[in-house]
Structure formats: C-alpha cells, structure tokens
Structure 1
C-alpha cells in the first residue's frame, strides 16, 4: 500500500528549498504552512538572505580560496569546539552546491557579499541577492515551486503530530476550524524555525531572554522541537540566540 505523498515539509520558509529539490527529483511533495501571510511574515522573509557557501564559483571569480574543511574549522573556532561535527561537515559539504542550485535552478541573481566580513568567517563566503531581502529570496523559491506540478502548498494548516512507523509516517494536520486531517508519507522535514514565539520555551531554555521582545514570526512556536522530542529525537544548544538592538523602546518598532 502506497502513501498519499512521498515527502511532507512543515514550514514554507527555508524548508521550501528541500521541498523544491525533492520535487525536481520526482517526489510527490506537500508543504504545510500555518501562516496565511508567510510571504512577508515568516522569519525567512524577514531575513537578509545571507547564505554561506564554501568553494563557490563566485569566490573563485574573486580569487578566494575556500573549502568545506575551512568552513568547518571556522565553526569549530567560533564555537570553541562545541559544534556538532557530523552536522557541521554535512552542512559545509553541501553549501556550495546549495548556492549554485539557488542560482542555476531557482534563477536567483546570487552574488558574493564583499562589503563586510561576517563574524567568525575567515574568508568571504556569505552569498545573497541584490537588496538582500528575504522576501525576494522567498518569492524566488515560491515562483519555482509553482512550476512543479508534483508540489502542493497547504495554507493555512499546522502539523501538530506525527505517528506511524518510520517507513510510513502519518502526519496529523490541524486546520483553522480545529478539524484534523491525516496524511501518510515516507519522509518528513520539520522546518518550522525556532521557538522565539513561545514565551514558555524561551523562559525554559533561555531564561535571561525571558523578558526580551521577540520581533520574529509568531508562528515560531517550537513545533519541530515539541514533535521531535515526542518522537525521541535528541536536541542540544537550545540556549543559543542572536540578539539585535534594532527596536525602539518602549514602542518595539523597527
């Protein structure tokens, strides 16, 4: 007995990259997004669209030498050796291919950032697009997704649980009216960002930030952490965060 789809992605932000690539390779893909205004209201759309890539053609054009190993060494140095090495090596190893794919398959006008050195990087390797807006990056991904007949986006809806066996997972989806729907799949990607929008989780994992104002997506509620923990997944470094003094006080506006 087959599954309803081959691949489910929870979150229509950066997770769209995985969804699109899977669809390009022939998988039947369903993306589930809880925010009706995700095109301008998720954290990917709010970002500056900075994507590191080690050993890209943009670096070579400027005579810059870089390798995945150099990237990993930078991570080790910045984290004082506490980085998850297999994960770091995997991310660094695919980084150049990801940037190249964004340019050649998605059609984004990728360029290497040369006007500032991102902290912790020993070589210029942050790639972006003109105007450096995450909304433009997200639009490029959505435009490509719309070209793929085997990729659908369900919005608004929220993944609230995962059941079944590893070979045939059941994704439980909650609709705005409270009704539940179950979809079977072979693989799931939980790409729902962090837990900055969940005050209780912030207080639990980052108590010194409990009273800080969170200006990101309200949908970053820790869904992936909650569901993953329920399935027995491991977690770590949950006390890490980036703080930006970009809001006026006390209005909390940009």
Structure 2
C-alpha cells in the first residue's frame, strides 16, 4: 500500500492515544521511554513481528561527548569538539543548529539510558574511528545493534509501555497543520484507525525503496541493500504530501566491508588498525583511511564489484569484540594462513601481486594514495575476507526544529508532528563522504529523546 495523506478523517477512530510513535527501532523506543516520564498515554506501532529495524543490523555504537563514562575513563571531550568533527567530515554541509542540537544532547541521553534504564554502555577504547578526534563510541558488551534494540525493548517492557507489532502505518489524517491520526494495516490486511494528540515519525529512511534510491542517490543504486527491508520511505513520501521541508536526500551511509556472499558486516577496525583492501588482481586501489562509507563506491568500482580486506591475527583479536566479526569467523568467511602466498590461494588472488602489495605498505610513512601508516606491520597469521559495497541507510529526511517538530517548507512547524532517526534530516552532509561513524544512531537516540520529552 502506498503511504498517503488525507484531509478527511474517519467519522470515528478505532483507537485513541496521546502520543503515537511509528516505528520501534532505537528512535521510537527511546522516544517512548522519554515520553513515559511525563506520565502521558502513548502507543508504539511497529510493522515487524518484533522490534528490530536498522538498529539491529548496526554495531549499536552511539557517539557522545562529555559522558560520565568518558570522564571515568579519563577522556577529555566536549560537545563543541564533537560538532567540529561532524562538520569537518561533512565539509560543513550540515545546518549548524542541528549539529549543535545533537552534540549538545548526546551525553545526557547516554547518561540517562545508563542510570535510569540500566543499559551497560562502555567506550570502544582499543581503536579509533575515522574522523572522531576523541574516543566517544558507546556500545553494549557485544558491540551489536541486536543487543541494543533488545535492551531498549526490555526497558520499555519494564515501564509497561504498549508496543503493537505487525502494524504498518499507511495513511496520515490531517486538519490544516495538525495530525489527527493514522490508519494502519495489519498482517491480514485489515485496516484500523488510531487518533492521536501527537505523532512521532521514527520509521527510518528510504533505503529499501529502490525507486527513491535511484532518484536521489543513483551512484549507489546497484549496491547491496544492507539495511532493513521495512525502510520504505514513508516519512519522505508523507513529507512531500504534507509540504514539509526535506533536506539532503542524497546523503547516505555506505559500507565497503561486507563479507560476500555471506552478508556479514566486517568491522572497519580491520582497516584502521593497519589492514588494507585489494581488488581481485591483488592491488590496492584507494586511501582506505577516508572511511567505510566512502568505501562502498570505491569497492563497487572494482572488477565484479568486490574487494578483499587483508589484515592479521593481531587485528583479528581487536575485531573479535564485535559479534558480527565472530560470526564471520564461524561461517568461514574469514580465511587464515601463515604466509601471504597461502592466503592469496585461499582467496583466489594472484600470490605474487598480493605479496608485492603487502611489501609496499610503508612503515610509519605515507603511501601513494595519501594514507599514513603508523601501526605494526602485518605479521602471520595473515587474514583475509572477500567483501562488497553496501547501502546501509539514508541520511536525508524531514527538517526538524530544536523540539524535533517537523518543519514545513516555509520553515514554520507543524503543530503536533515530530520526527527523528532516519525519518529526519541527519548530519552527514549531502553524499556518502560526510558520514561520521555513529551519525545514524546519534540522530535516532537524541531526536527520539527530545521528541518524547517535548510531546
């Protein structure tokens, strides 16, 4: 069913609630927890049988500056530094007010989730993410988005919050600039109507809508879609119908290190700690230090749209803190050999070319692509995995104000419509190169917190 907007509401709604939240990913569940603190009546609807969304497919890492966890670890950081890092990565293409809104509120969200809802966050301290000038990536023990969404769902259950699954919103009912309610379709195609005083769109982006991807980001159209299939772009389509402000629809997070054909994310730590990517000819082809989002296009431009991440046992130990990496090892996606020649044969690469490539990696120096190496040279056992480029999620969407209310095209706000996460404009500039690690979950949890608190 195509999402639409109607100006003629039903004579009678089937249900009524105070705050209605569409989507039970990180944004929607954080919004629910936040809204519940004021004691207001709320309802979350989710299209899937159980809450998961793009959050469950991520590493579950949330960047924040100035948290109590950072302070306890002796890390000096602040929101202004974080904001500069975001704008530098995005070539200052973001609205400064939005960047400051997210960075100024991120620490409070992490501290609140830890103290009020007992989420056991800790900081990734054994490697650095490209573009972050401080170690500020907060994650749960398994470093997986699955654990994060499960923890948020459990927190909602402890608060006795209502989450109804297998319900996809298909229609918004509008009276001038106020949302009156929605129509939702269940698994049996029955349609129910829900009246609400406030509506929060937490239904993520449009990466699963191939027509919208082709329209707004054709350069990544043929990439593996690694996001959630439910990301069909309802927020963008409703926004267009409502006359809402939309921004940076060409922005997205790619990833050039997804095990192929296994479809398992390989953490970029295998590269930042001294690993490299080579093509099927055994040759390096770009400056991998630019970031994993840019890597998607770089990898897809290689023969057969694939590459091979080459690293070693030391790096694999660091990467092993991520559940996805351990799963890739178990599945046999990651090959291991005592010599480069043996590794090349295991990966069906030309041994002589790969050996020369590894020999040419500088020690405390800069290579021909402009990448500076200051890590320990690769040593046995050598590791490798075949990877491809993927589209993870879109970063453009509805413009929001400091209360997370959706703005019209003229800059004025809708009375009772809010948005966060992938439904809202992010802070990743206008393409793929502006994505700073964690931008997606940053927008999800901060705008979710603000929207819930202000509804």
- What's the TM-score once normalised by structure 2's chain length? 0.52
Give the 3-state SS of the residue equivalent to 1:20 in structure 2.
helix
1:171 to 182, 185, 202: 182
How far is the alpha carbon of 1:199 from its aligned partner? 0.8
Larger radius of gyration: 2
Q: Is the 8 A contact 2:50 2:165 kept in 1?
A: no
**Residue matched to 2:21:** 9
1:188 to 191, 199, 205: 199
Give the 3-state SS of the residue equivalent to 2:55 in structure 1.
helix
Q: Is the 8 A contact 2:86 2:99 kept in 1?
A: yes
How far is the alpha carbon of 1:214 from its aligned partner? 0.3
**Residue matched to 1:35:** 48
**Residue matched to 2:57:** 46
**Residue matched to 1:203:** 214
How far is the alpha carbon of 1:24 from its aligned partner? 2.3
How far is the alpha carbon of 1:30 from its aligned partner? 0.8
Q: Which moved more, 1:186-195 or 1:3-12?
A: 3-12
Q: Is the 8 A contact 1:213 1:252 kept in 2?
A: no
Q: CA RMSD in A?
A: 1.8
Q: Is the 8 A contact 2:63 2:138 kept in 1?
A: yes
When residues 174 and 110 of structure 1 are mapped into structure 2, their CA distance, relative to the original with a 3 A threshold, is: same
Matched residues, number:
248
Give the 3-state SS of the residue equivalent to 1:172 in structure 2.
strand
1:117 aligned onto 2:128: yes
1:141 to 149, 152, 159: 152
CA distance in 1, matches of 2:228, 2:50: 10
CA distance in 1, matches of 2:143, 2:69: 16
When residues 248 and 118 of structure 1 are mapped into structure 2, their CA distance, relative to the original with a 3 A threshold, is: closer
CA distance in 2, matches of 1:123, 1:77: 14
Q: Which moved more, 1:164-173 or 1:74-83?
A: 164-173
Segments of 5+ residues of structure 1 without an aligned counterpart are none
More strand by share: 2
1:154 to 156, 164, 168: 164
Q: Is the 8 A contact 2:62 2:138 kept in 1?
A: yes
Q: Which moved more, 1:123-132 or 1:62-71?
A: 62-71
When residues 180 and 247 of structure 1 are mapped into structure 2, their CA distance, relative to the original with a 3 A threshold, is: same
1:69 to 80, 85, 95: 80
How far is the alpha carbon of 1:246 from its aligned partner? 3.8
Q: Which moved more, 1:178-187 or 1:75-84?
A: 178-187
When residues 247 and 58 of structure 1 are mapped into structure 2, their CA distance, relative to the original with a 3 A threshold, is: closer
Q: Is the 8 A contact 1:24 1:148 kept in 2?
A: no
How far is the alpha carbon of 1:44 from its aligned partner? 0.6
How far is the alpha carbon of 1:68 from its aligned partner? 1.5
Encode CA deviations 1:40-68: one digit per residue, 9 max, x unaligned. Answer: xx211111111111111111122222221
1:55 to 63, 66, 72: 66
Give the 3-state SS of the residue equivalent to 2:189 in structure 1.
coil
**Residue matched to 2:241:** 230
Q: Is the 8 A contact 2:82 2:132 kept in 1?
A: yes
**Residue matched to 2:416:** none
